[in-house]
């Protein structure tokens, strides 16, 4: 703080404290003119209420005096009176550094377990997964929901249903968090036309056991074999190497009704899971991966949480990253 601003702050402090302390000392001694009945002459409600004058109670004067005393003591002990650092030498920066050191000492044993263990093993560590849930809420909940249920509007997949685009083992989940994923479902509207899109949509629905017009299903199967089989496979079970979703399990990133599926086929989808390596670092990413793994793998000892309200339209979604819809 420069000399000018230090002096300016000191001036304001002295001015404000001086005025208020003067009023505190003067107010109890000032004489207010009153009528013989002890009132000021101010009346309300046609004279039913009259303003009287009473001395300030002793407890109020004592309390106010103690507040002035505390204010003077505070200015002596702590920074606040211009550039004066206070007799204690306290600074917010030094306190923060001390608290960071304490926090680092507390978390170091946890980080040692995180660095030494696999994601699968960490998923059974209640302390690690509790921290993982907090980190997930801070970094991932905007897309996936606070409990990982996902969001079909954004194409953010459900992370607690044990259905994955890129496989659900610990290292794959960790890779997705650290390096991100990018997926593209091509737009086939131009190649198929409206009728062809409807036919493929009907065939895709039939893969999951839904009823659809048989003539559309038959024609859609032909189109599927030409345009879709390279990514989704002949049986529609998808390809985790490519991140192509399973079309037979009735779990959808963008909704599984006929209109949504047709929209996906016609217009395509482009989804991206951003890389969080620079933001989180590997330790925090491993902790989040452990929490995600625990929610989707009952064998890890942590069954999925109840998060039925996370998805805006109630549709389940799939996988570990926003990606192309089935």
What are the binding residues for heme c? 140, 143-144, 185, 228, 231-232, 273
- Cα–Cα distances (Å) from 114 to 73, 118, 299, 300, in that order, read 47, 8, 19, 16
Evaluate whether 233 touches 311 at the Cβ level (below 8 Å).
no
Q: Which position has the token pair 């030498």?
A: 89
Which helix (H) or strand (E) element contains residue 51? strand 49-52
CA atoms lying within 13 Å on the CB side of residue 81:
17
Comparing CA positions, the residue from 21, 27, 36, 19 lying closest to residue 55 is: 27
Residue 114: phi and psi, rounded to 5, are: -65, -45
Which residues does the annotation place in the binding site?
140, 143-144, 185, 228, 231-232, 273
Would you call 11 exposed, middle or buried from its count of C-beta atoms within 10 A (0-12, 13-18, 19+)? exposed
Helix (H, G, I), strand (E, B) or coil at 273: strand
């Amino acid at each position: 703080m420069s000399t000018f601003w230090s002096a300016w702050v000191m001036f304001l402090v002295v001015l404000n404290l001086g005025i208020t302390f003067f009023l505190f000392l003067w107010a109890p001694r000032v004489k207010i003119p009153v009528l013989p009945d002890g009132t000021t002459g101010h009346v309300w409600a046609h004279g039913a209420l009259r303003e009287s004058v009473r001395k300030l109670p002793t407890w109020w004067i004592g309390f106010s005096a103690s507040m002035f005393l505390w204010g003077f003591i505070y200015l002596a002990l702590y920074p606040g009176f211009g550039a004066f650092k206070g007799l204690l030498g306290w600074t917010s920066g030094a306190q923060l550094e001390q608290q960071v050191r304490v926090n680092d000492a507390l978390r170091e044993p946890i980080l040692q377990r995180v660095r030494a263990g696999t994601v699968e093993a960490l998923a059974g560590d209640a302390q690690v997964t509790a921290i993982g849930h907090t980190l997930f809420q801070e970094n991932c909940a905007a897309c996936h929901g606070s409990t990982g249920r996902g969001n079909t509007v954004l194409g953010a997949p459900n992370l607690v249903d044990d259905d994955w685009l890129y496989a659900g083992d610990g290292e794959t989940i960790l890779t997705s968090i650290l390096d991100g994923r990018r997926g593209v479902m091509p737009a086939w509207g131009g190649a198929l036309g409206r009728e062809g899109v409807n036919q493929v949509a009907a065939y895709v629905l039939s893969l999951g056991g839904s009823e659809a017009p048989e003539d559309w299903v038959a024609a859609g199967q032909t189109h599927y074999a030409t345009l879709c089989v390279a990514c989704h496979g002949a049986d529609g079970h998808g390809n985790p190497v490519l991140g192509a979703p399973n079309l037979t399990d009735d779990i959808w990133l963008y909704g599984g009704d006929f209109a949504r599926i047709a929209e996906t086929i016609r217009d395509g989808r482009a989804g991206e899971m951003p890389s969080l390596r620079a933001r989180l670092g590997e330790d925090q990413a491993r902790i989040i991966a452990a929490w995600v793994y625990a929610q989707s793998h009952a064998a890890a000892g942590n069954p999925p949480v109840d998060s039925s309200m996370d998805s805006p339209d109630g549709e389940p979604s799939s996988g570990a990253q926003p990606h192309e819809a089935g």
